[in-house]
Structures are given as C-alpha cells and as structure tokens.
Chain A
Amino acid sequence: MNETELYTALTQVFHDVFDDDSIVLKPDMTADDIDGWDSQTHVLLIVSAEQRFGIKFRTAELESLKNVGHFAQLINTKLEGR
C-alpha cells in the first residue's frame, strides 16, 4: 500500500467514525483539529483502523500517537511487518 492509498483508506476510517465526509486528513493534524476527537472516539479510531487494515496495535504504541502522520506511519510499519 503506497502513501496515497493508505491516506485514502485512513480518511474513510475517519469519515465513518466521525460520520463526517468533509474531513480531509493532513499529517500534522491532531485531536484539536477535528470536532469530536476525544479520548472515547480515539479508541474507536484505533479499533476501526485495526479492523480496516487487519492489524493490531500494541498497548505501548497507543500512548505515543502524536498526530495523523504518526498514526499513518505506524499503520504502514505494521502493514510492512506482516
């Protein structure tokens, strides 16, 4: 999966979780930039991404997520590691 494909798939995850098709993801986006991105929806994003990409995050990885770019990078590493 190249970066564009990954961002397309990840965007779909965000659209579904926030029920908002207008969200456009940028690597430097954080929870402050998206309406409704709180600790609850954060877990939903993680679980939804796990389902979408067929991966599983480790407990430690969940603590260090800084922004969308970092999230995408982590997914990419997991996909390559399979």
Chain B
Amino acid sequence: MDSLLWLPSHPDLDAALGEAKRETDPMTRLALAVQLAGYRRDFTLTARMDKLATEGLATLAETGDWAAHRLTPLRVALLSSHTVDHLVPAIRVAGLNRRLAVSVHVAPYGMYRQCLLAEDPALTAFDPQILVLALDAKDAPLQLPLEASEEEVDAAVEARVEELRLLWRRARQRFAAQVIQQTLVPADPPLFGSYESQVPAAPYAVIERLNAAIRTAARQDGVLLLDLAWQAAQGLYGQGLADPVRWHQAKQLVSPTLAPLYGDHLARILAAGVGLSRKCLVLDLDNTLWGGVVGDDGVEGIQLGQGSPSGEAFLAFQRYAAQLARRGVILAVCSKNTQSVAEAAFNHPEMAIKRGDIAAFVANWEDKAGNLRQIASMLDIGLDSLVFVDDNPAERDIVRRELPEVAVPELPDDVADYPARVSAAGYFEAVSFTADDTTRSRNYVLNAERKAALSQATDMEGYLRGLEMTLTATRIGPAELARTTQLINKTNQFNLTTRRYTEAEVEQLAVNPRAIALALRLKDKFGDNGLISVVLARPDASLAPGELLIDTWLMSCRVLGRQVEEAVLDVLTTAAAGAGYSALIGEYRPTPRNGMVAEHYPNLGFDYRPAPEGAEADASFWRYDLTASRTSHHFIEMTGL
C-alpha cells in the first residue's frame, strides 16, 4: 500500500541511498538521512535510511552536540503486546524528518506489565522520556460469555482500564515519562454483522467500549493517545493492520509495509510533545482557495461556493482551513497577484476565510521562497513552522529546493481531496487543546495591527504606554499545567535554557514548596494575548543555600520588545525575596535558535557569575542580588500573586 502520499517522490531514492552510503563521514551520512527522510518511501528504503543515520547518531549521543546539528534527542520506550521491532527504523526515520533524534528501547514483547510493575534494570537504565504502550485487542481479553449483560461488560472494561491507569501512574512515578497509549484495533472479524453493537459482549462491541473508556481515562490522566483504532477506521492503514498471516507468522499487528505510516503517526506525536509541530498554514490563492484567476476573471468570475461542484470543493477546502484557524493554526497567504486585487477577492460573498483571519498577507510578483521568508519574519516564527499549500507543482518544487525547512505537501489532482491530504500529513498534530489555542490565530492578526501602530507611533515610550498592558502572574497549579507544558515544549527563540518537560515533570516542580513556578498572561488594548511566559525557579545543590536557580525562563515572541521581561523580573524578585532567597541565578544555554536572549541577563542587570560545578560547558551564569533595591523599567500594570 502506497502511504506517505503528502511527501514528494524522489527521482531515484535507491541510487541516492547507495551514493549516501559511500560517504565516509558519519555526520554527512546522517545529514543525508535527514534530507532523504522527507521523501516518499517504502519500508525497505526506510530501513536503509535508518542505517545511514546510525553511526552519526551514536557519535552525537557521545558528544551531546545535538544543537549544532539542529536535532532534538528523545528517549522512547516501546512496551507492547505484539512484535514491534520491525517498526523501530520507521519511527526513527520519521523522527529525523522532524529533526528529532529518537532512540528507541523495545521491551521484551508481552512483558509490559512486568516491566512497569516489577524492577526492569534495562528500562531503568534507558530512563525513557516517552513510554508507548502498544497494546492490541488480542491482549488480555476480558473473558466474558457472549450473553454477559451490559453491566457486566462495563464492569470488566472498567477493571481493565484501572489496570492501565496503574501502569500509567507507574510510568510517571518511576521515570516522569509521558505515556502514549495505543488504542485497540479489532483483530477478529465481527460475529453478528451490523447487529454486533447490540450484543454488549460481542468482540467489536467490547473493543469499542474499551477504546471509549481508554480515551476518557487518558484525557483525565494526561496520557496521550496513538489512536490507531480511529486511523484504521478512516481507512489509512488499508488491510495492513491485524493481517492474520503476519499475526500468525510473527505476532505483528502492523504489517511491515505500513511501518513508514505507523512510524510517522507516532513521530508526529513525539514532535508535537517537544514543540516541533507546524504552526502556520500558508495558502496560495488562485486555483487553491478558489477556481480560476481573480486577476483575469474578476471577483464575480472565480469559482467558489454553492452551485457548481468545483465551487463547492474549493469552499470545502476553505472551511477546513478556517476550522484549523479556530483550533490555533495561523493562516497566511502567499500568492502571485497584485495585493489589492488579491485582497478584494475576500469580498466575495461565499468566502469562508475572511481577510481578518489572515495574519500575514503577501501578494506580489516576487518569488515565493522570498515571500515565505517574509511571512515567517512578519509572524516571528521559524520557517520550520510553515506549511505551504500551492496547487502549482512548479512552485512547490522551487520552494522545497530553496527552503527545505518549509513543509510543502504533494497535492492530489482534485481540490476535493485537499482537506484529507493536509489532514493525513499530520503537520499540526496536537498534544493539548486549550482556550488559548482558539484565540491564537486572532492574536497573530492583532499583532500585525500592533506592528502597524508601532510604525505610526513617533516615540517608543508613547507606544508602550498606549498599549495599556496588564500582566497577570499566577503560580502554576493544576489549571495551568497543560498550557504551561505546551509553551515550555514549543518555545525555541526566547528560551534561556530550552529544557523540555513533561506535564508530570512540571507538576513535580510546581508542588515543591521551595520552588517558584510562574505562569504569566498579558492583556493589552487590542486584546488578550493569553499565556505568554513561564518561569521555573528552584534551589539547586550546586548553588549556595540563598541562591535560587532560574531553571527555565521563556516567553512567546508575540510580546517581544514590550519590556515584559522587566515586569516578569519584578514578579520573580518579589516572590523569591518573599521566600527568603538572597539572589537569583540566571543560566543561558545557547542553541542555534535562541541567540536573541544571549544578553538577556546582563540586560536585566544581572552580574556575571562563575559556572557552578557540573554545569554544561557552553552555559553561562548570571547573578542578581535580591538584597539591593530594585527600580523597574516598564509601562505594564501588574496583577495577581
């Protein structure tokens, strides 16, 4: 089965792999593996790519020099009730395609309970950050007679889910690992046909109840799902899940031919967890959002909306994009058009995307690679946050060549299939959804207006005063955990240490009475920016007793240049002094993406401090004396705390 249809085809992947293999430098081979991972590939080609990367990854594991190669290391343990070894190369390669260096530990098959409930030295030594429970419908059958009542089935389902919850808790307590639970794919054919669901203990009915209960429990317990059952129901896996021959032969739930797809489905969750999901959908206009060319056909002449099949298909794609914006994906436009003509098209009465939904609107006759760069800089996001959708294969090809960081999906011939293709590619995989997400794309639009206001303001101070900003600080509690963890894991630029934490780890720190864990929100006259900054500070054994280490300080780039960091320091100094500390210790760990905060601490009045014992070689340390009086420099009103 041909999968990964959104990835472009390489003219000769077999030859490219052969050539790459002959490179003598392991780092060159790794770089080529990362590059080739972006092409459509079957399971043998995928496994060969994986081998290409092995030595380079092993070298990096020793030197720890991940940042220089723009890779994020991640330790993932697979605990399964079926064979998964054949899926491991595909998981790693899908990771590389997202600049994630996944190291995988596979626990002995069928031993997942023992691994978590008893002591498993191999798993302990591996110290997983992510723990995947890949279970299947044949594992731990509920042993119910077919005539069992609904109550009996529910009781058995509940008992099974309680057992899973115990395993989830163990994974958190022992490793502070984020758990990813795989939903169960029905393995045996139905017994009753369409009547199956009316018999509570029929195999399909039981699996459905189990999956429903697992989903609810996962949401309550902060566990993520690899929802294989839904993906199978969408037909994404064809006949390749629970193929009886593969099962009888090798206890494989996922056929080797579908390893690349499975690897991608898992890797996109892993990537989302460390903030590597895409953030912005950049759309071409003519023949992508509507049929025809608005410059030639006029606003009335374009195909859009009810009345014609293709007009409806374009409208359906617009609606899908508009829905993505509602869940927090930023929308942008990149089109070869005259700006005024392109903008006028949004007066068309049937347009589902409104001009006001679009945070960056670039229409001109320049090349699209340059325009995409401009869009990224207008929005203060990286090129690797963009997905570019264009019906023109030549434009797609040029953008891929010029800007390999931008995701450019291959598109089906018919626009009617665009929504399914964009969805299948999984660019915007989420690990949480909060009220802040629903307003995010609106915030980016407002930010564009703020920038316009700034260019009109004659003096900076007047501009900042005029914003009427209010900062609200709260200590991170249960209500803030999901949002703060999300921000911790996706912020790359204004991030002093780029430490990634699971919800369980943030919680551990937040409940420590000696630590200070702050969530900060900012409002201004244009609207609510939502959660914009997180600070985690804690005592550290390598420091003097009165010193408080700022383990994590990060901020959304949306509020850059507004002296928010000065106001945050106000909050932090007050809280730290109140807790009896005499000094704050700031740490800066350089990465390829956080150069903008290299001078953060000296700019805020911190003094250089020698690095404590055990610190990383390239980290620098800074000290702020809490016993001296503090004058703050900002125009922000403060509430909370």
Q: What is the interface of chain A, defined by CB distance below 8 A to chain B? A: 16-17, 19, 21, 39-40, 43-44, 46-48, 51, 56-59, 62
Contact partner of B249 (CB less than 8 A), chosen from A51, A56, A59, is A59
**Residues of B12-32 whose CB lies within 8 A of A:** 14, 18, 21
Given A43-B249, A59-B249, the answer on whether A51 and B48 have CB atoms closer than 8 Å is: no
Interface residues of B in 322-356 (CB under 8 A from A): none
Let me know if A16 and B245 touch, CB within 8 A. Answer: no
Q: Which residue of B lies closest to A48 (CB)?
A: B44
Given contacts A17-B44, A51-B42, contact A43 B256 (CB under 8 A): yes
B residues with CB within 8 A of A:
14, 18, 21, 42-45, 47-48, 51, 83, 85-86, 244-246, 248-250, 252, 255-257
Asked if residues B51 and A19 are in contact (CB atoms below 8 Å), the reply is yes
Identify the closest chain B residue to A44 (Cβ).
B256
Kindly state the separation between the CA atoms of A48 and B259 in the bound complex, as whole angstroms.
13
> A44-B44, A59-B245 provided; 18 other pairs, C-beta below 8 A?
A16-B44, A19-B47, A19-B48, A21-B18, A40-B83, A40-B85, A40-B86, A43-B86, A43-B246, A43-B250, A43-B256, A44-B43, A47-B43, A47-B246, A48-B44, A51-B257, A59-B244, A62-B249
Pairs A–B under 8 Å by Cβ, sample size 21: A16-B14, A16-B44, A17-B44, A19-B21, A19-B47, A19-B48, A19-B51, A40-B85, A40-B86, A43-B249, A44-B47, A44-B86, A47-B43, A47-B246, A47-B255, A48-B256, A57-B245, A58-B245, A59-B248, A62-B245, A62-B249
Specify which chain A residues have a CB less than 8 angstroms from the CB of B86 in the assembled complex.
40, 43-44
Closest 9 CB pairs of A and B: A16-B44, A47-B256, A43-B250, A19-B48, A19-B51, A40-B85, A59-B245, A59-B248, A62-B249
A59 to B248, CA, bound (A): 8
Q: In the bound complex, what is the Cα–Cα distance between A56 and B18 (angstroms)?
A: 28
A39 CA to B252 CA, complexed, in Å:
12
- Which chain A residues lie closer than 8 Å to B14 at the CB level? 16
- Hey, which chain A residues are within 8 Å of B83, CB to CB? 40
With a cutoff of 8 Å between Cβ atoms, the chain A residues found around residue B257 in the complex are 47, 51
Among A43, A48, A62, the one with the most B-chain Cβ atoms within 10 Å of its Cβ is A43
A40 nearest in chain B by CB position: B85
**Chain B residue contacts of A44, Cβ below 8 A:** 43-44, 47, 86, 256
Q: How far is the CA of A56 from the CA of B255 in the complex (A)?
A: 13
Name the A residues within 8 Å of B252 (CB-CB).
43
Bound complex: CA A44 to CA B252 (Å): 11
What's the Cα separation between A72 and B248 when bound, in Å?
A: 22
Q: How far is the CB of A64 from chain B (nearest CB, A)?
A: 12
- Once A and B bind, how many residue pairs between them come within 8 Å at the CB atom? 47
CA distance A40 to B88 in the complex (A): 12
Distance (whole angstroms) from the CB of B82 to the closest CB of chain A:
13
| Minimal beta-carbon separation of B246 from chain A (angstroms) | 7
Q: How far is the CB of B356 from chain A (nearest CB, A)?
A: 50
CB–CB B48/A16 < 8 A: yes
CA distance A39 to B48 in the complex (A): 18
* A47 / chain B contacts, CB cutoff of 8 Å: 43, 246, 255-257
B44 to chain A, nearest CB (A): 4
Name which residue of chain B comes closest to A16, CB basis.
B44
CB distance from A52 to the nearest CB of B (A): 9
> Distance in Å from the Cβ of B150 to the closest Cβ of chain A?
37
Nearest-neighbour CB distance to chain A for B149, whole angstroms, equals 37
Which residue of A has the minimal Cβ distance to B45? Answer: A16
Smallest CB gap from B18: residue in A: A21
Roughly how many angstroms separate A62 CA and B248 CA in the complex, as a whole number? Answer: 10
Point out which of A17, A19, A21, A40 has the most chain B C-beta atoms below 10 A from its C-beta: A19
Which of A16, A44, A47, A48 has the largest count of B CB atoms less than 10 A from its CB?
A: A47
Closest B residue, CB atoms, query A62: B249
CB–CB A39/B250 < 8 A: yes
Chain B residues with Cβ below 8 Å from A48 are 43-44, 256
A47 to B43, CA, bound (A): 10
The complex places the Cα of A44 from the Cα of B87 at a distance, in Å, of 11
In angstroms, how far is the closest chain A Cβ from the Cβ of B102? Answer: 19
A57 CA / B246 CA spacing, docked (Å): 11
Q: How far is the CB of A78 from chain B (nearest CB, A)?
A: 14
Docked Cα-Cα span, A40 to B48, in Å, equals 15
**Distance between B251 CB and nearest chain A CB, rounded to angstroms:** 10
Bound CA–CA A57/B249 (angstroms): 11
Q: Which residues of B have CB within 8 Å of A62?
A: 245, 249
Separation of A16 and B85 alpha carbons in the complex (Å): 18
Q: In the complex, what distance in Å separates the CA atom of A44 from the CA atom of B245?
A: 13
Q: Which residue of B lies closest to A50 (CB)?
A: B257
Query: In whole angstroms, how far apart are the Cα atoms of A49 and B246 in the complex?
Result: 14
B96 shortest CB reach to chain A, Å: 16
Closest Cβ of chain A to B43, distance in Å, is 7
For residue B250, which residue of chain A has the nearest CB? A43
Complex CA–CA separation, A41 to B43 (angstroms)? 12
